[in-house]
Amino acid sequence: MDPTQFETHPSRYRHWRLTFGGDTATLVMAVDGDHPHRPGYELKLNSYDLSVDLELADAVQRLRFEHPQVKVLVITAELDRVFCSGANIYMLGLSSHSFKVNFCKFTNETRLYLEDASANSGLASLCACKGTTAGGGYELALACDETMLVDDGNSAVSFPETPLLAVLPGTGGLTRLVDKRKVRRDRADVFCTTAEGIKGKRAKDWGLVDHIVSRSKWDETVTQRAKTLAARQTVVRGPAVELPALAPKLTDKAITYRYVELAFDPTARTAALLVKGPETPPPADPAALTSAELWSLHAFRELDDALLRLRFDLPDIGVVTVRTSGDPKLVVAHDEALAKATTGFAREVRLLQRRVLKRFDNTARSFYAVADQADSCFAGSLLELALGADRFYMLIDKAGKIGVATSAANHGFMTTSSGLSRLEARFYGEPARAGKLLARGSEGPILSEEAEQLGVATIAADDIDFEDELRIAIEERASLSPDALTGMEQSLRFVGPETLETKIFGRLSAWQNWIFTRANSTGEHGALTLYGQPERPQFQWKRT
Amino acid sequence: MDPTQFETHPSRYRHWRLTFGGDTATLVMAVDGDHPHRPGYELKLNSYDLSVDLELADAVQRLRFEHPQVKVLVITAELDRVFCSGANIYMLGLSSHSFKVNFCKFTNETRLYLEDASANSGLASLCACKGTTAGGGYELALACDETMLVDDGNSAVSFPETPLLAVLPGTGGLTRLVDKRKVRRDRADVFCTTAEGIKGKRAKDWGLVDHIVSRSKWDETVTQRAKTLAARQTVVRGPAVELPALAPKLTDKAITYRYVELAFDPTARTAALLVKGPETPPPADPAALTSAELWSLHAFRELDDALLRLRFDLPDIGVVTVRTSGDPKLVVAHDEALAKATTGFAREVRLLQRRVLKRFDNTARSFYAVADQADSCFAGSLLELALGADRFYMLIDKAGKIGVATSAANHGFMTTSSGLSRLEARFYGEPARAGKLLARGSEGPILSEEAEQLGVATIAADDIDFEDELRIAIEERASLSPDALTGMEQSLRFVGPETLETKIFGRLSAWQNWIFTRANSTGEHGALTLYGQPERPQFQWKRT
């Protein structure tokens, strides 16, 4: 299989047009039906697939870094009477279970990033739906701050997935309906089983959309609502920094970036992720901190890309060791410089690190962090990788070089999906232990043995036992059922409070995973399989 | 298929022995291997199936009502070196997907009821594990207030499900490990992938058990811990009331109790649930309120039994209409009498109503509450059924007789699994609307039209439209995929905050549902299928 190209650029967009006017950016969805992500289906009626969503994700990311003047993003389309008809059904029908689930996960992350940009980066969003807004199209609208629906007696918002396809709206729609928009649950029930959707005044009365607007007043209202949303923004981004291409080197054994390498062994079904620390201290002049070459930005962008390639292109890899190399002091120095910097750019970099770390938490592979080399540097933002991993193995070395270090990055900013920091989640119910670890960390590096005592290392062992113990742990993990491990890790990783995010990834996605495997949707006579064909689906009626 | 017998009595227990001594009750697990719930497997090594769990549920219920003097329940076993080896694997392998899921749901409910008895009814629990405690056996221990493990160099607690069977611990174990007992997530990861489990000091250090005790000190320590737990109880139950058999009449068309009837039409895949209100006012003398014949107790026990029969014995029924009949004033009078009564018995009845209503929320069928008869009585505790249903249809009758009424039962005591009341969940994010409805309710009945305006009715229609609208809604619902509906309803019903309970039913169970359908567990070469056979499972390695 050809590797997936996750990087793109507005100059290469096939499916969206990004334009600017003052503090407003407009993304026009204009899906090129002839250029799907994979051959075999046509992207009709502004339906989308992974390629379309990769461009959307790219646009939102670039707006944050490259266009700090933009305070509101208007998402719209210019097809006659159609805003977006959702994820392409034929694409879903042709996809493997693993691809379907990872596609849904990525589109969920993209929509959460839209919400994150609004909540934290002064970038609001307005979904201007001048036509039919179905399925994933409406889920995109739900992720925006405001949704406008044209009131033309015809255009509706809808979730036809359950009645037409025997699956769920898979991109957070159910959760956003009742938890975010607070649509009454019995009305949500009616809405989600009404294939043709709900339009006009009822859509507004039920809270499904914020505004219904006639065709004649459409453009004027879009401008006015965008202006209102822009005026509300108080967070300032910038200075602008262009995001260069990462352009990793790909071979059949590894994906190699400047700071990140993902080497894989398909036979053993294992991979080795290595993240290198910065080579130099951060610039002393805070103004010079504004650069796309900054380690904190570049390395985490690389890590993000590597995680996506792991998810989509290396589905058979079950266990990933995570190592770091470099000078822990330099990692800490970069973290501290960012935390102290007052620019919007610095905040954006930290927010990006936070999103990448959440992507790591949400990647359905077993991660074993390993500190077994003298130049290991699980410090600050890189320590978060060890805390997010399922286990953390540390070698007790005679030279006393291997340890961990804390920085400003461990003090609460890098929240997980649950809203807890990784230290808070690790010591759930015992917040004093997180405080103790941070206090100890402020005094200097914590060597392996002490790290185990303080609860950071899962296992610390000396060189007599270490190598065998780790090797056996990896082999054992790689031998277990990937399905059971996914469910187990999902249950253990997200301890504590639940949020919209954890509900989407933990509850909604779990039900969708199940439903995708059921004959009623994807079997020979299932509704998803038969979509668009004259044959009616045949259901097995047993309820579970 | 023979109907399942959900009712039992200590005099008929085959698998447990219930004994009493002062304020301590002891349940000895002594599973009779030759009497499984269905033929085809043997219950070796104190493994359990539905029959075993039905007796456990019965015992906990009877302790609450019939034995108010008991303040602590000791759960133990007397097999040599084995406490409990968990759910019987051969039983799972032989069961349909639907049965497996409903079995897990019921066992989950039973364990949550143990926790409920401790939290609200002054009945603590101590799990005294004098031997191997595996899988569901350890999940039972996790549901108790304290767990003791014998320290004999051999006995361990374990979750071998993932490594041995390629499924999850399905009875809340993963959630209870990290969320209830706050076992560190990386240690939980090690524990859940170590088939042989963890014993002795490490089990105690990791928080997997509360006490490790030698054989020589075992009996003395059990007595002492039970005494300590009993001494902590402040909630007083009683007076004692014996729970009589419900003994419903079963035909091939209906299950009929004194107050409850469940009529079903397998061809249409629909059922009609009718709950009748009380025939007489509650006794004026509060002392006389203490009776098993009290409507509030008897009717809700019947409803509970009917829901279990619906789940297990009528798997093809997709849509259930819920009607009530009787005098709403009498329902309100019973609710108010209970809420005012100061006896432990009255509290127990209300707690039972709350549990039954949660069982209703958690039943994977589409419920449409319907008020279309002049004697409809959706009042107070019965109004909760309408609020818990997916939709509520109300007829606007010319005589102005059909309406709803509120009582003390709607003011917050009858919490759902999320901790919100059904009114709070209905008006999630708009608490003032719940308050407004309750204020209006205190003035008298609310007729259909007003009930719709206040947000209680989903749809109120007059007799020109009502019948057709309801008929079409039922037919449409019955035509949809049961799997997609289950996932949709699970996502819409549990709005708002998440708790241990909702995590277990929404997240853990959803992952388990998915895993149960995967070839790696239940396929021809799956680990669950091949358990106990020489052939090694073959896995599909793709991660999702």
Task: Examine the pLDDT at A258 and tell me if it is beyond 80.
Answer: yes
| φ, ψ dihedrals at A436, nearest 5° | -65, -45
What is the pLDDT, as a whole number, of residue A80? 87
CB A112 within 8 A of CB A56: no
Q: How confident is the model at residue A495, as a pLDDT?
A: 92
pLDDT score for B281: 97
* pLDDT confidence tier of residue B1, bands split at 50, 70 and 90: low
Secondary structure (3-state) at B389:
coil
A538 touches chain B (CB under 8 A): no
- On average, the pLDDT of chain A sits at 96
Give the three-class secondary structure for A268. Answer: coil
Q: pLDDT-based confidence at B384, cuts 50/70/90?
A: very high
Summarize the confidence of residues B410-430 as an average pLDDT: 96
Rounded average pLDDT over B271-290:
93
Q: What pLDDT is recorded for position B95?
A: 94
The answer to whether the beta carbons of residues A254 and A264 sit under 8 Å apart is: yes
Q: Do the Cβ atoms of B521 and A480 come within 8 Å?
A: no
Over the stretch A328-349, which tens digit does the pLDDT of each residue have?
999 999 999 999 999 999 999 9
What stretch of H or E contains A108?
A: helix A97-120
Contact between A520 and B315 using a beta-carbon 8 Å cutoff: no
Q: For the segment B110-168, what is each residue's pLDDT rounded down to a tens digit?
A: 999 999 999 999 999 999 999 999 999 999 999 999 999 999 999 999 999 999 999 99
Q: Which amino acid is at B173?
A: G
A391-396 vs A366-371, strand pairing mode: parallel
Mind listing the pLDDT tens digit for each residue in B87-114? 999 999 999 999 999 999 999 999 999 9
Q: What is the pLDDT of residue B288?
A: 82
**Separation of alpha carbons B471 and B392, rounded Å:** 13
Confidence band for A1, pLDDT divided at 50, 70 and 90: low
Q: What is the mean pLDDT of residues A391-419?
A: 97
Query: Hey, are the CB atoms on B544 and A429 less than 8 Å from each other?
Result: no
Q: In what order do the strands lie in the sheet with A391-396?
A: A249-250, A254-256, A260-265, A270-276, A319-325, A366-371, A391-396, A459-462
Per-residue pLDDT at B544: 76
**Distance (Å, rounded) from C-alpha B61 to C-alpha A363?**
43
Locate the DSSP E strands across B357-411: 366-371, 378-379, 391-396, 403-405
Report whether pLDDT(B287) > 80.
no
For residue B491, list chain A residues with Cβ-Cβ distance below 8 A: 168, 174-175, 178, 507-508, 511
Q: Which of A236-240, A241-245, B306-310, B515-519 has the lowest mean pLDDT?
A: B515-519
Sheet holding B403-405, edge to edge: B378-379, B403-405, B446-447
User: Which residue from B270, B417, B437, B438 is spatially nearest to B357, judged by alpha carbons?
Assistant: B417
Hey, CA dihedral for B435, B303, B365, B51, is it positive or negative? positive
pLDDT digits (tens, 9 = 90+) for A303-314: 999 999 999 999
Tokens 């009821």, located at residue:
B113
SS (H, E, C) A276-323: ECCCCCCCCCHHHHCCCCCHHHHHHHHHHHHHHHHHHHCCCCCEEEEE
Q: Does A189 touch chain B (CB under 8 A)?
A: yes
What's the mean pLDDT in B503-525? Answer: 90
Instruction: Closest CB to A510: pick one of B365, B430, B507.
Output: B507
Inter-chain Cβ pairs, chain A and chain B, closer than 8 A: 284
The answer, yes or no, to whether residue A255 has pLDDT greater than 70, is yes
pLDDT at A287: 77
Summarised one tens digit per residue, pLDDT across range A506-544 is: 888 888 888 999 999 999 999 999 998 999 999 999 887
Is the pLDDT at A132 greater than 90, yes or no? yes
Determine the length of chain A. 544
Rounded to an integer, the average pLDDT of A386-414 is: 97
Residues of A in contact with B498 (CB under 8 A): 497-498, 502-503
pLDDT at B507: 84
- What the block records as the tokens of A540 is 């097995």
Which pLDDT does position B145 carry in this prediction? 98
Q: What integer pLDDT is reported at residue B127 of this predicted model?
A: 98
Beta strands in A57-161 (DSSP E): 72-77, 82-84, 86-87, 124-129, 132-134, 146-150, 156-158
Mutation for A interface: B483, B494, B541, most A CBs within 10 A: B483
How many percent of chain A have pLDDT more than 90?
94
Are A484 and B162 within 8 A, CB to CB?
Answer: yes
The Cβ of residue B531 has, within 10 Å, a number of other Cβ atoms equal to 16
Three-class SS state of B226: helix
- How far does the CA of residue A447 sit from the closest CA of chain B (Å)? 19
pLDDT one-digit tens code per residue, A95-118:
999 999 999 999 999 999 999 999
- Using a CB-CB distance cutoff of 8 angstroms, which residues of chain A are in contact with residue B317? 543
Determine whether B178 is exposed, middle or buried from the number of CB atoms within 10 Å of its CB (0-12, 13-18, 19+).
buried
The stretches of B89-170 forming alpha helices (DSSP H) are 89-94, 97-120, 136-143
A positions 465-494 inside 8 Å of B (CB) = 476-477, 480-494
* ipTM field: 0.95
Q: What is the pLDDT of residues A474-516, one digit of tens each?
A: 999 999 999 999 999 999 999 999 999 999 888 888 888 889 9
Q: Which residues from chain B sit within 8 angstroms of residue A495, using beta carbons?
A: 178-179, 185
Sign of CA dihedral A294, A298, A300, A301: positive
Which range has the worst mean pLDDT, B12-16, B211-215, B469-473, B487-491?
Answer: B487-491
Q: Under a CB-based contact definition with an 8 Å cutoff, are residues A44 and A220 in contact?
A: no
Give the nearest chain A residue to B422 (CA atoms): A185
SS3 for A471-513 is HHHHHHHHHCCHHHHHHHHHHHHCCCCCCHHHHHHHHHHHHHH
Q: Is A141's pLDDT higher than 90?
A: yes
Beta partners for residue B325, in sequence order: B276
Asked if A508 and B491 come within 8 Å (Cβ–Cβ), the reply is: yes
B440, pLDDT greater than 60 = yes
Question: pLDDT tens across A9-40, in order?
Answer: 999 999 999 999 999 999 999 999 999 999 99
Instruction: Identify all chain B residues contacting A510, using CB atoms and an 8 Å cutoff.
Output: 507, 510-511, 513-514
